[in-house]
Chain A
């Protein structure tokens, strides 16, 4: 049986790993390669690494870092940050990355999804949607550039569009829940889940393994991604890389097996 995936998401800023809250206040949590080595030992299902500087600064992806990450990873790796051309995607996949995440490009040049899928295969093209709930009316809106740019687009429509264009996975990242550690936004996830049949991964809000357990028991085969949960320990957010061991993980997904 296919298992739900439990995925640490790591953010790279100024060459180091950071964790944000509501996409701001990056707190330094360590060295990327060192973190990958620890996650190897913990046998994580997959890893997402996002360079949060590349798009806002208009920089090329850091290929040296990506190569080191891909070489070190003994689990599948998804890279995101500053990706806007087929050439870049081809290069990143050739460095040994399994999946490339597009975010601003999904909004600005959605046809890139189709072009990339023709080269690297749709299974390796991931659409990441950063979503904010409007204070008035409670409608959801996709944002880009680290939540500084509004798009006016609804995440359900955009997820559907990404699927139609040939993406292989959708990641829904809740800006409001980022770093909050008080649970996933089920309402948002439900809306997107109903609209697409692609693998769906959700990020933003996981504060405990129970949050992941309730996500899996409700949505079944899903990617449960988390940042803070896997890099912090305790109420004072001491940096400690952690991840459920094999029996803890089996217990979390037992409702699905």
Chain B
């Protein structure tokens, strides 16, 4: 069972549709009780950092979510701002992050940009995964994903970087610490590549 955390943000139904097509059971969790039976958790997100943190903090789901992720070690994947929330803090906001993976969310440094288009990083870009990483099974060659963001996850420890992407230099386009995963791009909006990644997560 894939559990999609509904705290009022992100395209939850798009994930549910993809899993339905893949014949993988999923449910949208709106209560702590529903999180208790989760075997895999997806934490979606779009929007500004503080807005997303506020919604999660007020959803009544945070405590139960942290227990499942940090104590029970249930695999979880954060999407876009859902990933950024896993950091300690963000330059985009004032609220504390979840602090599940050590690091800060930072704005790209525009002063170093050479091309005409600066921020946001918007569109389809390549993702270079770490070798042998199961989340990127069958996505080692020519995988493209959709990005839409101006801030990136600067991990404190390089071993938490799962893949890199080039946007005026390489940055972490996905992260992992043990059972905790995060992707900056939108797999739910990345056609067959995104579907493959969501399938991989379900099968881990």
Contact = CB atoms under 8 A, between A and B. Distances in A.
B46 A121 contact: yes
Contacts of B144: 3
Contacts of B121: 2
B123 A45 contact: yes
Contacts of B117: 197-200, 220-222
Nearest to A117: B48
Interface stretch (B4-12, B32-40, B62-70, B155-163): B4-12
Contacts of B110: 197
Interface string B87-120: 0000010000000000000000010010111111
Q: What class of interface size applies to chain B in its complex with A?
A: 35 or more
A187 B14 CA distance: 39
Interface string A64-100: 0001001111111000000000000000011010110
A3 B118 contact: no
Given A75-B146, A122-B150, A43 B189 contact: no
B23 to A, nearest CB: 17
B93 to A, nearest CB: 10
A179 interface: no
A96 B148 contact: no
B47 interface: yes
A73 B125 contact: no
A145 interface: no
A119 B49 CA distance: 9
A199 B51 contact: no
A134 B14 CA distance: 44
Interface string A178-222: 000000000000000100011110000000000000000001111
Given A1-B125, A119-B51, A93 B14 contact: no
For chain B, what secondary structure do more than half of its interface residues adopt (helix, strand, loop), or is it mixed? mixed
Interface in B124-142: 124-126
Contacts of A4: 123
Contact of B189 (A3, A74, A198, A223): A74
A112 to B, nearest CB: 15
Contacts of A43: 191-192
Nearest to B13: A71
Nearest to B117: A221
A22 interface: no
A5 B123 contact: yes
B149 interface: yes
B166 interface: yes
Contact of B123 (A3, A119, A121, A122): A3
A120 B120 CA distance: 13
B164 to A, nearest CB: 13
A124 interface: yes
Contact of B150 (A67, A93, A123, A219): A123
Nearest to A221: B117
Contact of A123 (B8, B11, B120): B120
A53 interface: no
A43 B144 CA distance: 12
B82 to A, nearest CB: 13
Given A5-B124, A45-B123, A122-B120, A93 B47 contact: yes
A70 B13 contact: yes
A123 B122 contact: yes
A96 B123 contact: no
Closest A-B pairs by Cβ, 3 of them: A96-B11, A123-B120, A197-B118
Given A3-B123, A94-B8, 16 more contacts: A1-B126, A5-B122, A70-B13, A71-B14, A76-B146, A93-B9, A96-B13, A98-B148, A118-B51, A119-B47, A123-B148, A168-B150, A199-B122, A199-B123, A220-B116, A221-B117
27 contacts: A2-B121, A2-B167, A3-B124, A5-B123, A40-B191, A43-B191, A45-B123, A71-B14, A73-B14, A75-B189, A76-B189, A94-B9, A98-B11, A98-B46, A120-B48, A121-B48, A121-B49, A121-B92, A123-B120, A124-B47, A169-B120, A197-B118, A199-B123, A200-B117, A219-B116, A220-B117, A221-B115
